[in-house]
Structure formats: C-alpha cells, structure tokens
Structure 1
C-alpha cells in the first residue's frame, strides 16, 4: 500500500491529498529516509510523521483494505512516540494561551465581528414608519 494512502487510512491525515502534500514536503520518513507519496509500506516499517511541530513515530503492523474507524486504528499500527515529545505538544498549547488570553489586549477580527453583531440590533417597526414619511 502507498504511504499516503496508509496515513490516510489510519487517520493521521483527513484527506489523501493532504497526506500526499506532507510526503512531498519531506514531513514523512520511512526507516529514516524521506519518501515520495508512491512509496510502498510493509509490516515492520518505522514511519516518522512530522505534524504540528511534533514527530510521531509509528510501526506498521499490517495494511488495511480501506479507511478505518478510529477504534480499529491500533490493529494496523503501533505508536512508539516518546513521551517527551507528547509532553512538548502540551507545552505548545500552554504557550499559545500565554501570548493572548481571551479578553486581554486588542480584539481580533473575530472579536470585532462579534462586537459589531451585538451592537447591530434590528430596527423596530416604529422607527421604520417614521423614516419613510
């Protein structure tokens, strides 16, 4: 099975085209080598996936026939990502909150839209009649 299709089947990427793009950008390695999307995957291959600033390490146990449900993914791969890298992911979440807490600082574009929606109240029928006369 192709590496891009395998990563899509085991739900590491939402679409196969995103998995293909990741392979072309060099974010996918098989047994330490950067691979093309057409590279075949075999059981016992070690895959390294760089996603969200974290290197996930997987061992291929088997190749599925098609895309799997989330509960069945562990049948086809073994996640051997070191615990330190998963803790790094938690630290990244906390660091994003550090830069701008909600309600602090200048409002974002989304905040400004919400404020505008709150101030834009529909006109009452009484006001419309006065303006038409």
Structure 2
C-alpha cells in the first residue's frame, strides 16, 4: 500500500489502519493469516484479507499474492 516501512508505521500510528474492525495504533502489532485489514489511504479505503506471508521482503508484484482485495471505496 505504501513503499516504505516508515510510511506504513505512520499510517498505523495516525489511526488509519484497522485490524479485524479494531483501530490499531501500534505499528508492531502482529497480524496473522485470515486477518482483515482496513486501510484509509488518501481518499480511498482498502479492505484486504491476509492470505499468506513471504519469508523475505519482495517487490509489489510478489506482495499482491499475499492478500485478497475485499473492497475499495471513496471516503467522505
């Protein structure tokens, strides 16, 4: 969703991420397969289900197979 870990941490700390419907503010919060992440990013909201993890960091294309897009919509 974002290119750098620091940007991801800032999203979480500022309250723009929910894990299974609960707002998360700790960037170190562990997630597991099956968790649903709701991410408010710019003027959209993305809803993603975690389906797998990668052993090592990879590019955006390899990350796309690790989650299922459940929804996307505009924020008011």
> Do they superpose with TM above 0.5?
yes
Interval of TM-score (by shorter of Structure 1 and Structure 2): 0.7 to 0.9
Q: Which runs of 5+ in 2 are unaligned?
A: none
Larger Rg over CA atoms: 1
Deviation at 1:73, TM superposition (A): 2.1
Deviation at 1:72, TM superposition (A): 1.8
Q: Aligned residue pairs: how many?
A: 74
Q: Distance in 2 between matches of 1:14 and 1:78?
A: 19
Q: TM-score, normalised by structure 2?
A: 0.85
Structure having the larger proportion of residues in strand: 2
Deviation at 1:53, TM superposition (A): 1.3
Q: Distance in 2 between matches of 1:52 and 1:81?
A: 15
Q: Distance in 2 between matches of 1:69 and 1:34?
A: 27
Q: Name the SS of the counterpart of 1:13 in structure 2.
A: coil
Are residues 1:15 and 2:24 paired? no
Structure having the larger proportion of residues in helix: 1
Cross-structure match for 2:39: 49
Q: Find runs of 4+ consecutive structure 1 residues off by over 4 angstroms.
A: none
Cross-structure match for 2:62: 72
Cross-structure match for 1:92: none
Q: Name the SS of the counterpart of 1:42 in structure 2.
A: coil
Q: Which runs of 5+ in 1 are unaligned?
A: 1-11, 90-133
Are residues 1:28 and 2:17 paired? yes
Q: CA RMSD in A?
A: 1.6
Alignment of 1:1-133 (within 5 A): 12-35=1-24, 36-82=26-72, 85=73, 88=74
Q: TM-score, normalised by structure 1?
A: 0.51
